[in-house]
Structure 1
Amino acid sequence: MVVEDEQPIRILDAQLRYFFHIDPDLLNDEQWAMRVQELNWIRKQEAKQNQA
């Protein structure tokens, strides 16, 4: 079982693969960080819409 708090990078990489269909291993650090920020924004927007 994967515990998110213990392996945050692994979880974020899996989410990038799932949501963006990209291989995070091909991104440099800056690109990876930008995709993670975009992912966080998208997930927050989805959460807001689900509350309405």
Structure 2
Amino acid sequence: MEVHHVAKLADLGRPVDRPPWADLMAVRHRKALVVCGTCHAGIHGRKPVPAFTE
């Protein structure tokens, strides 16, 4: 699990322009959202990093 964080809720953008994960943060009035590593990479537009398994 990883935590996605924004500096300000205003950084999430306008309701018509933001993705579903940003809507969830806005509705909950939270600047942080716990997501899996794959989803966090997707939020930032990166390829997922393989999970550490040791």
TM-score normalised by structure 1 residue count: 0.31
Q: Which has the higher helix share?
A: 1
Greater share of strand = 2
Q: Which structure is richer in relative contact order (CA contacts within 8 A, separation 6 or more)?
A: 2
